[in-house]
Structure formats: C-alpha cells, structure tokens
A and B are shown apart, each in its own frame.
Chain A
C-alpha cells in the first residue's frame, strides 16, 4: 500500500488509546468550560439568556458529534464542512477552511471597532455583542460555501 493510500480517508479508522484519551480529555474540558459559562449566565445574565446559550451549545455539540460520526463511518460521503468540523479534511478542505477563517478575521477587527462605537453611543452591550458574534458566524458559513464552490 502506498503512502497516499495509507493516508486516504477510510471507514472505521481505528484510533490509538493515547489519541482517544487526548480527544476525550479535550472534549470533556471544553464541555465543562461551556457549561460553566452557562452557569455564570444563569447567575448574572439577563432574563433567560442562559437557556438560549445552553441550547446553542447543545446544537453545536450535536453538529460536531454527527459530523464526526459521518466522517468516520463514510468518509467518502462526508461533506467538506463535516470534514473541516472534525479536522479530518484533506489539503483542499484545510485550504478552504483557512481562507474562510481569514475572511472572518479580516472582518472581525473593523466589525468589533464598529460594535464598540455603537455600544459607546448607548446601545445595549449584550444585544450588540450577540449581533457581532452571530454576524461573524454567518459570515464564516457564507465564506466557507463560496470559497468551497470556487476552489
């Protein structure tokens, strides 16, 4: 088997014990951090924002789990986005993701500056921050789709 064939995406790829432990540890730590932020929101956040936040976290975790399952079971049928989500993409997938994140990075600086000015002018900080975060997330999605199509 050539090097390329050993590197090719294969269904049911086995992970080593150390890799499994590392992934599980990072996932657990990340989940603990996200849930902790939810608790902080519950204590100090406005209204029922903590519910929406935890709902969003659950959605994101579910998307990650589904993507990871699809990539491991049928790597040839997984989409570039799914492969990018679980860091199992080939060089083109990585290139598309890198360029998409670069677009978001370029926009994030002036967008944050504008958001700061808007908040300084008296707009509610939570609302402006939410719009900023969601706006950048949507931009990432659009940039990924456009760049994936053009590359």
Chain B
C-alpha cells in the first residue's frame, strides 16, 4: 500500500530508527512500511496517523 510515511518522516528530519522509536516499532518495520512491503495493523495505522497529526486516509492510499 502506497503511503506518505517517508516524505512525512524526512520533512521532520527523523531517521527510520528515530521514527520507529516514536511509533514503538523497529527500524526494519519503518523501512517495510515506507516501501509498501508491509501494511500496518489498524492500531499501528492509528498510531502513525496520530503521530503525524493526519488522518489514516491522508497517509495510506489504497491502490485497489
């Protein structure tokens, strides 16, 4: 699933590890999220949205 996580992270000058720490996940998970290889669970999607102060739909884009 396409998403804006990388752009949002870079706008805030955060490393993947730093963002992972904020979200409670590993650096590898942040990388997998950004590359679209891993889709987050609903709780994690809400955590990401809350962190960036955006809605889930503004961050994650369903390509179907």
Residues of chain B at interface, number, CB under 8 A? 20
Q: Select one of A4, A76, A93 contacting B24, CB under 8 A.
A: A4
Chain A, residues 90-110, CB within 8 Å of chain B (1/0): the string is 111101000000000000000
Give the secondary structure class of A's interface. Answer: helix
A80 within 8 A of B: yes
A95: chain B residues at CB < 8 Å are 38
Chain A, residues 56-86, CB within 8 Å of chain B (1/0): the string is 0000000000000000000010001001000
Q: Select one of B23, B28, B32, B40 contacting A8, CB under 8 A.
A: B23
A150 within 8 A of B: yes
B7 within 8 A of A: no
A43 within 8 A of B: no
Residues of chain A at interface, number, CB under 8 A? 20
Q: Select one of A4, A80, A83, A89 contacting B23, CB under 8 A.
A: A4
B32: chain A residues at CB < 8 Å are 92, 151
Question: If the complex has contacts A8-B22, A151-B32, are A92 and B38 also in contact, measured as CB distance less than 8 A?
Answer: yes
Which residues of B2-47 are within 8 A (CB) of A? 17, 20-29, 32, 37-38, 40-41, 44, 47
B21: chain A residues at CB < 8 Å are 5, 8-9, 76
Contact B26–A83 (Cβ < 8 Å): yes
Question: If the complex has contacts A150-B37, A151-B37, are A92 and B20 also in contact, measured as CB distance less than 8 A?
Answer: no
Q: A: which residues have CB within 8 A of B?
A: 2-9, 76, 80, 83, 89-93, 95, 148, 150-151
9 A-B pairs (CB sep. < 8 Å):
A4-B22, A4-B51, A8-B21, A76-B26, A91-B25, A91-B44, A95-B38, A151-B37, A151-B38
15 additional A-B residue pairs with CB within 8 Å, beyond A4-B22, A91-B44: A2-B51, A5-B21, A5-B22, A5-B24, A8-B20, A9-B21, A9-B24, A76-B27, A91-B25, A92-B26, A92-B38, A93-B29, A95-B38, A151-B37, A151-B38
